[in-house]
Amino acid sequence: MSERRVAVTGLGIVSALGIGLEPYWQALTAGKSGIATISLFDSEGFRVRIAAEVAGFEPTDFIDRKAARRMDRFAQLSVSAAKLATEDAGLDISADPERIGVVVASGIGGVRTFEKEVEVLLNKGPDRISPLFIPMEIANMASAQVSIELGAQGPVSTICTACTAGSNAIGDAFEIIRRGAADVMLAGGSEAAVTPIGIAAFASMKALSERNDEPEKASRPFDSERDGFVMGEGSAVLVLEDLDRAEARGAKVYAEMIGYGMSADAYHISAPEPTGKAAARAMTNAIASAGIEPSEVDYINAHGTSTPLGDEIETRAIRMALGDSADSVAVSSTKSMMGHCLGASGALEAAACVLAIDRGVIPPTINLEHPDPACDLDYVPNHARESEVRVAASNSFGFGGHNATLVFRTH
């Protein structure tokens, strides 16, 4: 039996750039930053006081109040994004629940709940820990709560591969459909780690930008003055669907997913492998999986975190993977606007790729004011670009050496 083709038929976005597909896309293409001073907790005295928060998010806009109280924020975000995605796709899960599955990633899970319950333990003792602590904190609840809330009874799992997790979730869902184990998958990522311990811990690693006085300019991928990433939060869920099924029900097809590649650095717990060869291999594996040539890639949504090492090594990896075609491909980092959403970032960026194909507009890399000579590709600086995008790829690289690339094509 030949492998089935996979369509993207729905997008659900809950992000610092807006809640819903259109607010997200309008902010991306306008080059708007969603980064500001932290409001979710009092960051006075913290080395880093900025983040990309989902402003105005009310879980009860999407979830019953009682159910919402039993979810950490990361699960509330994933359920909300999944509901937006199924609505966008016009998907009736109840018609065939056993053939519809869920893979929603999270790099950290319910860190907000973890923090709260540690305080209870220290201040009130072990007998006062909430019985809901574990069911709220564990990372699989990004997917489990989507399954419970929407009634999806097909394959359900959660990927936890740090900053690559959202891409791995979409890639795994793609493979599940291709091999016939499900007809539809809700796939993406969710993260809500803008908390005191989340910010303090990444700051202690010197991973975060300390540009507290200019939050909107703090994330500046490929710029010579970059000084680290900005923590973001949010969720994106894509509806992946067997193409024949999608066409039979008259669904809108945003794009077709055609490739998925992975690799490992096998190098360090947090630093990227310096030559970029493993990251390049994820790209070449994805391109081979898609059955295309490197020259056919029109746009790459870069991992592009705004860290000194990462952006330079990714540039090197793109050149290695694409060869002579690297000089003609458009590359941008949407993290310049919505920060680094850890396990959700790959999903939010996959959505940007799908919309670039559908709308014919490439989002910019904002704050690229002082180009780094070591980063010498076309990064679509500061302004969106109207351009036909036939093939788009999305890169994700995570702590521990996880690498993943997704490839989408116009339908």
Pairing of strands 100-105, 156-157: parallel
Q: Output the CA–CA distances (angstroms, integers) from residue 21 to 154, 169, 285, 354, in the order listed.
A: 26, 20, 30, 11
Gap between the Cα atoms of 34 and 101, Å rounded: 31
Q: Give the residue among 118, 37, 77 at the shortest CA–CA distance from 343.
A: 77
Q: Kindly report the backbone phi and psi dihedral angles of residue 331, in degrees, each rounded to the nearest multiple of 5, phi listed first.
A: -130, 135
SS (H, E, C) 83-123: HHHHHHHCCCHHHCHHHEEEEEECCCCCHHHHHHHHHHHHH
Q: Which residue has the tokens 């869902």?
A: 173
Known catalytic residues? 163, 303, 340
Torsion of CA 376, 381, 384, 387, to 10 degrees: -30
Residue partners of 335: CB distance under 8 A and separation at least 6: 219, 221, 229, 230, 232, 303, 304, 305, 306, 345, 349
Enumerate the H helices of 42-190 as residue ranges: 65-69, 73-89, 111-124, 133-137, 141-150, 165-178
Gap between the Cα atoms of 133 and 257, Å rounded: 37
Side chain identity at residue 290, one-letter code: A
Check: CB of residue 160 under 8 Å from CB of residue 106: yes
Gap between the Cα atoms of 251 and 243, Å rounded: 9
Q: What number of residues does the chain have?
A: 411
Q: Output the CA–CA distances (angstroms, integers) from residue 380 to 233, 330, 371, in the order listed.
A: 24, 6, 12
